[in-house]
Amino acid sequence: MVLGAVVIVALLSIAGVFAWSRPAFQDWLLLRGASAQLHRSAAAFPHPDGIRVILCGTSPPLPSKTRAKSCAAVMVGKRIFIVDTGPGFANNLSIWGFPMARISACC
User: Residue 105 carries which side chain, given as an amino acid letter?
Assistant: A
Confidence bin at 23 (pLDDT 50/70/90): confident
Angle at 73 between CA 31 and CA 21, to 5 degrees: 30
The β-bridge partners of 51 are: 76
pLDDT score recorded for residue 43: 55
Over residues 1-26, the mean pLDDT reads 78
pLDDT score recorded for residue 88: 73
Angle at 38 between CA 36 and CA 39, to 5 degrees: 65
Q: What is the distance between the alpha carbons of residues 96 and 94, in angstroms, rounded to a whole number?
A: 5
- In the structure, how many helices (H) and strands (E) does the chain have? 4, 4
Residue 28 scores a pLDDT above 70: yes
Q: Chain-wide mean pLDDT for the chain?
A: 76
Residue 39 scores a pLDDT above 80: no
Smallest CA-to-CA distance from 67 within 86, 94, 39 is with 86
pLDDT one-digit tens code per residue, 40-80: 655 555 566 778 888 877 777 677 777 767 788 888 877 88
Residue 87 scores a pLDDT above 80: no
pLDDT score recorded for residue 48: 67
